[in-house]
Amino acid sequence: MKQVRRREVIRTGTTVEQMVRAIADMIVTGAILPGEKLDEITLASRFEVSRTPVREALRELGAMGLVGREPNRSAVVTNVTGTYLHSMFEAMAELEGICARLSAERMTVDERRALELEHRSSMRLVHAGAEEDYAAHNTEFHTRLYRGAHNDHVFEMVTQTRARLAPFRRAQFRLPGRLAKSYEEHDQIVTAIIRADAVAAGQAAYSHVAIVSDASAVFAAAGE
Amino acid sequence: MKQVRRREVIRTGTTVEQMVRAIADMIVTGAILPGEKLDEITLASRFEVSRTPVREALRELGAMGLVGREPNRSAVVTNVTGTYLHSMFEAMAELEGICARLSAERMTVDERRALELEHRSSMRLVHAGAEEDYAAHNTEFHTRLYRGAHNDHVFEMVTQTRARLAPFRRAQFRLPGRLAKSYEEHDQIVTAIIRADAVAAGQAAYSHVAIVSDASAVFAAAGE
DNA sequence: GGAACGGCATCTGTATGCAGGTTGCGAGTG
DNA sequence: CACTCGCAACCTGCATACAGATGCCGTTCC
């Protein structure tokens, strides 16, 4: 019974959580198109599990808003393109602004120092043009902002939103000159936070993400 | 097999959606206390269904953040007290501020008119001291704000946060003079939005919710 | 007497079978 | 030729059975 066709089988392990992430990725990356039906049996055979865990995964995806569900109908991929995607980028900018503003007010001395260190250490990555490494630094940098706000619920929202946007931001640092520009914008945020200038920090963070969103929107619309 | 004890049986009908709502209600009304375990078999017998739909309901509740789930452990009601509760109120104020600000910029003429009408029509409820009706109006008023922002993701976040805070705000309008004060604050928000004054609208909405949060925090700490 | 190990009870995770509903195709009729 | 009605295949929703994991408790050894 393990000798089913090995062609389309997706070997991610068999937990429901992994299936949720795998299907979510397929949706946001466009591997499954909006409006497409997600047949339970087909998914079950693809993941080499029975229908029961597939059903639970689909229900969770429904709660996340990635698929639509109606009684006695197949789950269908919701349309995450266009306006909703745009709304997520805009929301992301707002959330980043909040985090930066609150960080400017609330970060401990140690947190400010750590943020500055993290930031300064990334300069050599810019010069080296190390896109992959800079992306990792970038994640770390923003996570510090989210934590610095000292608000668990905001942290949850911003983390979740960021995760859902991840696939759309993936190739962003490939754009020429983006690394240096990103560093420059980070610098403004850090400076404002060190000065405890909440308004400036919020505005700088908002602009930073808003700019990224434009670039990514273009990228997303262009192809993928 | 239908002759199980008829004592604690909850006769809500058997769809998963109804179970989700029923369990969610029990959690937010305090019928089930935070930290309490939700045993699948017990729930199944209570609702007179098998474990399968119960599992799906629990997974959905987990996605909503109402229950915590770990592998091979019972689902437990999340504890939403203390610092996390405070962070949710603060986040709520921020989100309301965003919605009001964006509403001031983006609401159509019809939306502004409808908001104003809704608001003005509530004055008689204030005079009558009709707490229940005013609460319904209040929900409608805020929902209009959320929609007026014209940002689906923000709408989702604010709606979800509001839902999770609902039980802690329930008795809020019982406080003496709160109705009139609420109306007054709504008035400031509406006026700013009509004038398309984004900054003023945002600040008014933020303050409105922040004040409510204080009152409710006292209430939540006092008893329930 | 206390701590650690092992067995047992219990609960979760998954598979599968069955019933009800929905859809789409085809035959029959106007 | 088109429209309608009916049937059949398929798919979802739920129940039940089974396997694996966890935690508790008693026993045993130090």
Q: Looking at residue A170, what is its pLDDT?
A: 58
pLDDT band at B81 (very low <50, low <70, confident <90, very high): low
Sheet order of strands, B75-77 included: B37-38, B75-77, B67-68
Q: Is A126 in the B-facing interface, judged by CB distances under 8 Å?
A: no
Residues linked to residue A77 through DSSP beta bridges, in sequence order: A67
Q: What are the residue ranges in chain A where pLDDT is below 70?
A: 1-14, 80-82, 167-168, 170-174, 212-224
Q: Protein A73 CA to nucleic acid D3 C1', in Å?
A: 27
B73 C-beta less than 7 Å away from strand C: yes
Q: Protein B180 CA to nucleic acid D16 C1', in Å?
A: 58
Question: Which of B64, B94, B152 is closest, CB to CB, to A63?
Answer: B64
Q: Protein B22 CA to nucleic acid D9 C1', in Å?
A: 36
CB–CB contact A94 B64 (8 Å):
no
| Alpha-carbon span B185 to B212, nearest angstrom | 11
Q: Looking at residue B80, what is its pLDDT?
A: 64
Q: Are B40 and B55 in contact (CB under 8 A)?
A: yes
Q: Compute the mean pLDDT over every residue in chain B, rounded to the nearest whole number.
A: 83
Question: Which of B59, B64, B153 is closest, CB to CB, to A91?
Answer: B153
- The answer, yes or no, to whether residue B96 has pLDDT greater than 90, is yes
Q: Looking at residue A19, what is its pLDDT?
A: 86
Residues linked to residue B76 through DSSP beta bridges, in sequence order: B37, B68
Instruction: Give chain A's domains with CATH numbers.
Output: 16-77 (1.10.10.10), 83-222 (1.20.120.530)
Q: Is B38 helix (H, G, I), strand (E, B) or coil?
A: strand
Residues 54-93 of A with CB under 8 A from B: 55-56, 59-60, 62-65, 71, 83-84, 87-88, 90-91
| Alpha-carbon span B165 to B169, nearest angstrom | 7
Q: Is B76 helix (H, G, I), strand (E, B) or coil?
A: strand
Q: Give residue numbers, 53 to 82 of A, with CB < 7 Å from strand C.
A: 53, 56, 71-73
Q: Chain B contacts of A98, Cβ < 8 Å? A: 94
pTM: 0.70
Rounded to a whole number of angstroms, the distance from the CA of A215 to the nearest CA of chain B is 20
B21 C-beta less than 7 Å away from strand C: no
SS (H, E, C) B163-209: HHHHHHHHHHHHCCCHHHHHHHHHHHHHHHHHCCCHHHHHHHHHHHH
Q: Is A187 in the B-facing interface, judged by CB distances under 8 Å?
A: no
- The answer, yes or no, to whether residue B115 has pLDDT greater than 60, is yes
CB–CB contact B153 A87 (8 Å):
yes
Q: pLDDT by residue (tens digit) across B123-174?
A: 999 988 888 888 889 999 999 999 999 999 999 899 888 877 876 676 567 6
Q: Chain B contacts of A84, Cβ < 8 Å? A: 152-153
